Amino acid sequence: MYDIRLKQIECFLEVAETLNISKTAGKLYISQPLASKWIKSLEEELGCRLFERTKTGLVLTEEGRVLKDKWGHIYNELLRSIEDMHSAGKTAKGVIKIGCIEDFDLGKNVKDIIDGFKKANPEVEIELPVYGPKDLMEQLMKGQVDVAFHTTVDLNENCGVKMMDIAELSSCIAMSKDHRLAKHKKIEIKDLKDEVFYELALRESPRSFVKIRKMCEKAGFEPREIKEFHNISSLGMALRYQGVAVTLRESMASFKSDLKLYDIKDTKYNERLVLIYPKKNYSKLAERFSSFVKEFTA
């Protein structure tokens, strides 16, 4: 009988994703030596190397890549089944976790949707966990949230989810009210060629990062510098003092009293707020909520 524990599998999958023992240890709330020990014992139990240790860091071996794909699906199914049983045990009808992006103004329409669903399903407990864009997607695919409100700027057709259109979002240029450009009534992308761009990190919002570069390229320049921030809160706080950002107006709702926002008139750069849920193996409550949203927005 193989001596492989669930925590070892979780540790392997996290290291396979981050390729960083230290980050994995922090995320799992264990020590770095313990994480390394789990990976080593797993390799010994399986009789193969899962990672190559190079000068630049860890790299998955071919065996490691195969195992990541196979175990990833199995582990997600296991988590989902545990969550389903946990929800069923809490109440007769369960708990629905509706994921949201941190510091993002979902608007009255979404609040009306959630209020309407609660009124129609008073026995269902509603939780609204918040995450950064990338983490929200990961939590959805792991089954830690049932459905999520997300933006099209961070999604693509092949990301493994179904999307339901909710509302249009507005792209804008954001800066401090004390910024030298803030005295102008109108600002366009071309006016930012000498500015330092403050944006969400490539890891958090890769499509947004690419989009900004394309917008600048169309305006005839390359950003001289892009400073990355790992969440909307730190980005909004930094903009109060310096830098500019091309972002969504709804992302800056918590900071609008300190910032000057200029709408980008080219509507092709606008994004959509969407409801997302897994293409398969989603919970019954996710199905019920998505059906309610479809009727609500019809």
Cβ neighbours for 192, distance < 8 A, ≥ 6 positions apart: 173, 181, 216, 219, 223, 244, 246
Cβ neighbours for 43, distance < 8 A, ≥ 6 positions apart: 49, 50
Average pLDDT over residues 99-113: 90
Convert the pLDDT of each residue in 222-269 to its tens digit: 998 999 998 889 999 999 999 999 999 999 988 988 999 999 887 677
Question: Residue 53 above 60 pLDDT?
Answer: yes
pLDDT for 153 equals 80
Strand ranges for the chain from DSSP E: 51-54, 57-60, 95-101, 125-127, 130-131, 147-151, 161-169, 171-176, 196-200, 225-229, 244-248, 259-263, 271-278
Residues 225 and 253 sit within 8 Å (Cβ to Cβ):
no
Name the percent of the chain lying above pLDDT 70: 93
Measured CA to CA, the distance from residue 193 to residue 222 in angstroms comes to: 7
Question: Residue 150 above 60 pLDDT?
Answer: yes
Average pLDDT over residues 196-208: 86
Q: Residue 127 — pLDDT band, cuts 50, 70, 90?
A: very high
Q: What is the pTM of this model?
A: 0.65
CA 257 to chain centre: 26
Average pLDDT over residues 37-52: 89
Burial of 272 (0-12, 13-18, 19+ CB in 10 A): middle
Q: Residue 91 — pLDDT band, cuts 50, 70, 90?
A: very low
Q: Residue 90 — pLDDT band, cuts 50, 70, 90?
A: very low
For 198-215, b where at least 16 C-beta lie within 10 A, e where not — what string? Answer: bbbbeebbbbbbebbeeb
pLDDT for 201 equals 86
Q: Domains of the chain, with CATH numbers? A: 6-82 (1.10.10.10), 91-168+272-297 (3.40.190.10), 171-269 (3.40.190.10)
CA 116 to chain centre: 26
Measured CA to CA, the distance from residue 229 to residue 60 in angstroms comes to: 28
Residues 12 and 42 sit within 8 Å (Cβ to Cβ):
yes
pLDDT for 84 equals 67
Higher pLDDT, 209 or 166: 166
